[in-house]
Structure 1
């Protein structure tokens, strides 16, 4: 079945798990925490596009294999998806780095990129680290877990949890397929979840549904987080709420990350940036 599928990506600690928890309240939608589908596609692409086997593939065959992989992964993963047509949201931060492939394999799909002030992204990572006092998160590693400065450098490296997603987001935002990108700002999502969902439903042309931000299902996989030595990484609270607090980051790091939200200030409502990306951001949604 060639069902409707969209992709959730963006920055870490920016509400992708929260957004999925809200979307999955609708029985006609399927959304969950991070899946390995993007990684599977990344592993297959080099085999089909370079080396000794490349001559065995043309673009039509490559497209068919990737399209089949996307469909079969979700068919096998949830029997309910086989019984009736669904709109599926597949989550992985790597999707922003593959806009060209998705435009060819799923030309009607959108990539929903969750974004947040980098200061509070790094702050959230640091709070997780400090909460799990006796564990060394695999997001940092032992050589990089000595001080908050060590941990921030690791997170912001080009291969780090934040750095890799940051570069992929900008690649998608300023690229030629930015018109298939929808940005959901974390601050707006927690402040006005129903309004953000209404805009998102309109952009995706979904039938209206009444969501309840006061009754969320925590879909976190404790085993997944434990494997990263980072319990709570995908935990979702029972209700959507804004939490105001002081940052635990030193002023030097806050200053370094200040004014880096390139997606802000691009107009009201679902405005478009120079590359064409739709924006849902604080004080811009009317």
Structure 2
């Protein structure tokens, strides 16, 4: 059997990456899931063979590339019946040049969402578990109020801030044409229109998905984070309207961070509502 093709799912948290993976895995040719440890393996291995390490002088660039490619092949070695593998990690947007050098022709599907609704979603998860100190926040002061929680999440080394900065880097970078940004609202509202565009982007034949029976769950992973249900996907793909639980000033602040709705200045491919000059969806 020919070696599997690798593509990548990345982007912002709480923006549909697990939902997208759950849809894609309905295709028997595809392997997709929630965030994998391969990204961490890549970073750890690079630190062992880069400048400052005692082994740096013993490993050249060709060997580094072979070692990194070997991580993917080893991790997915048992997926012998899969022709296309989607590895999920928010760091892939920050590693785009490395990905394309290892796997020419690879694509990144970056899930995005109005950052205010991302903060709202995380805040809802936090409040639904009042007797659990989730690992998303470093200390008690960092989780004490919604203002501190959102501010902490938005820092560039934290959950939302890092993913946002990585996506923005890739979106305006020299390899942006290898990215497809999918806004969560459109994926959840009209998956039957979005998924054919995904297949066209990765150059694969279309597949008839069942959007009424899409399920995925990772209870053990979510429990060790202290956020039960974080990666649970409901059977039916649908968009649910709701009021935000964020204070108005916070919601307004983070609503202004959706740079992908204006693709001018970027070669990235975008599936998202357009924002007109007045700041409203068009």
Query: What's the TM-score bracket when you normalise by the shorter of the two chains?
Result: over 0.9
CA offset at residue 63 of structure 1? Answer: 0.9
Task: Report the counterpart of residue 129 of structure 1 in structure 2.
Answer: 126
Match of 1:17 in 2: 18
Tell me by how many angstroms 1:179 deviates.
Answer: 1.4
For the pair 1:213 / 2:211, whether they are aligned, the reply is yes
Match 1:98 to one of 95, 99, 115:
95
Q: 1:276 maps to which residue?
A: 267
Query: Could you tell me which residue of structure 1 aligns to residue 148 of structure 2?
Result: 150
Q: Is the 8 Å Cα contact of residues 2 and 71 (structure 1) preserved in structure 2?
A: no
Further displaced range: 123-132 or 55-64: 55-64
Is the counterpart of residue 118 in structure 1 residue 115 in structure 2? yes
* Equivalent residue pairs, number: 272
State which of 160, 166, 169 in structure 1 corresponds to 2:167: 169
Cα drift, residue 259 of structure 1 = 2.4
Q: Which runs of 4+ in 1 moved over 4 A?
A: none
- d(CA) in 2 for partners of 1:62, 1:257: 39
Q: Distance in 1 between matches of 2:255 and 2:18?
A: 25
Report Cα offsets for 1:61-119 as digits up to 9, x if no partner. 111111111111111xxx3x22x351000011011111111111111101111000001
The DSSP-based 3-state class of the residue aligned with 1:248 is coil
Deviates more, 1:257-266 or 1:7-16: 257-266
Q: The residue matched to 2:85 in structure 1 has which SS?
A: strand
| Alignment check: 8 A CA contact 1:114 1:185 kept | yes
The separation in 1 between residues aligned to 2:225 and 2:10, in whole angstroms, is 19
**Structure 2 residue aligned with 1:258:** 255
Task: Describe how 1:201-240 pairs up with structure 2 within 5 A.
Answer: 201-218=199-216, 220-240=217-237
- What's 2:62 paired with? 60
The answer on whether the counterparts of 2:22 and 2:214 sit within 8 Å (CA) in structure 1 is: yes
Whole-angstrom distance in 1 between the partners of 2:188 and 2:75: 31
RMSD, matched Cα: 1.4
2:9 counterpart residue number? 8
Closer, same or farther: CA 85–229 of 1 in aligned 2, 3 Å = closer
Residue 41 of structure 2 is aligned to residue 40 of structure 1: yes
Q: Normalising by structure 1, what TM-score?
A: 0.92
1:183 is aligned, of 181, 184, 201, to: 181
Counterparts of 1:58-97 in structure 2, within 5 Å, are: 58-75=60-77, 79=78, 81-82=79-80, 84-97=81-94
> In structure 1, how many angstroms separate the alpha carbons of the residues matched to 2:265 and 2:56?
36
d(CA) in 2 for partners of 1:85 and 1:227?
29
Tell me the distance in 1 between the aligned counterparts of 2:39 and 2:5: 17
Counterparts of 1:281 and 1:136, CA distance in 2: 35
8 Å Cα contact 1:109-1:180 kept in structure 2: yes
**Residues 161-198 of structure 1: CA distance to partner in whole angstroms, max 9, x if unpaired?**
10111111111111111111111110110011011100
CA distance in 2, matches of 1:56, 1:101: 20
The residue number in structure 1 matching 2:280 is none
